[in-house]
Amino acid sequence: MKIYILVLLFILVSSSTFSQVGKKNIPIKPILSPGLIYQNQFMGELNVMFSRLELTTGGSAIWGPRIGLESGFNKDKFIIAPKVGYELSGLLFCIRGSALTYFQANKVDVRFLPEIGLSLSGALNLCYGYNFHLFNDKIDDVTSNRISLTLNLDFELWRGL
């Protein structure tokens, strides 16, 4: 799996859209990034992304740190997870990395979550992620594999589509 992540990262970095990243003074702006997650159960997420946006004729790229919260919908096995991470998405691909702490009743489960997936120019992302346990504690109601669908609510980005 590591080789796939490296190949995808190479493609993203070498593309014409991402070759301009860092050459200009691009302003940082906070945007909302809600989403839906499936990992043994459906969960919702709400993030604030401190994003930078690059719009070119070849496509768009959005990147920046994220802070958010995931929450389960099941009242009997309620789970909540604050998280911090970083996202780079644009053209057709998305890469994210996050650190999460899941809480359920009196259980605590700290994990690292790399995600990779498909993107609609950074506006809509469908990603696969794998939760790596950092300590021995484990909440069984949260699986290691997950699928997420997130929406980056940057109106300048959506107008550029």
Terminal-to-terminal C-alpha distance of the chain: 31
Distances (CA, A) of 92 to 1, 78, 108, 119: 19, 34, 35, 5
Q: Report pLDDT digits (tens) over 60-118.
A: 889 999 999 999 998 888 999 999 999 999 889 999 999 999 999 889 999 999 999 99
Predicted local distance difference test score (pLDDT) of residue 56 = 79
Q: Is the pLDDT of residue 9 over 60?
A: no
Token pair of 115 as six digits: 């995600």
**Residue 25: its pLDDT value, please?**
74
**Residue 93: exposure state from Cβ atoms within 10 A (0-12, 13-18, ≥19):** buried
Question: In this structure, what CATH number is given to the domain that contains residue 112?
Answer: 2.40.160
DSSP class of residue 71?
Answer: E
* pTM for this model (two decimals): 0.80
DSSP codes joined into one string, 103-161: EETTEEEEEEEEEEEEEETTTEEEEEEEPEESSS---TTS-SEEEEEEE---HHHHHH-
- Position 14 pLDDT exceeds 50: no
Tell me the C-alpha distance between 62 and 138, whole Å: 33
The pLDDT value given to residue 32: 96
- 117 is in which domain, residue-wise? 2-21+28-160
Q: Residue 116, Cβ neighbours under 10 Å: how many?
A: 18
> Is the Cα dihedral 71, 50, 133, 7 positive or negative?
positive
Q: How confident is the model at residue 6 (pLDDT cuts 50, 70, 90)?
A: very low
Count of domains observed in the chain: 1
Q: pLDDT for 16-50, tens place per residue?
A: 444 444 456 788 999 999 999 999 899 999 999 99
**Single-letter amino acid code for the residue at 87:** E
Q: Decide: 68 and 83 in contact? Cβ < 8 Å.
A: yes
Burial of residue 118, with CB atoms counted within 10 A of its CB: 0-12 exposed, 13-18 middle, 19 or more buried: middle
Work out the average pLDDT over 115-128: 94
Higher pLDDT, 10 or 138: 138
pLDDT higher than threshold 60 for residue 12: no
Q: What is the pLDDT of residue 35?
A: 97
Closest CA to 34 of 66, 59, 8: 66
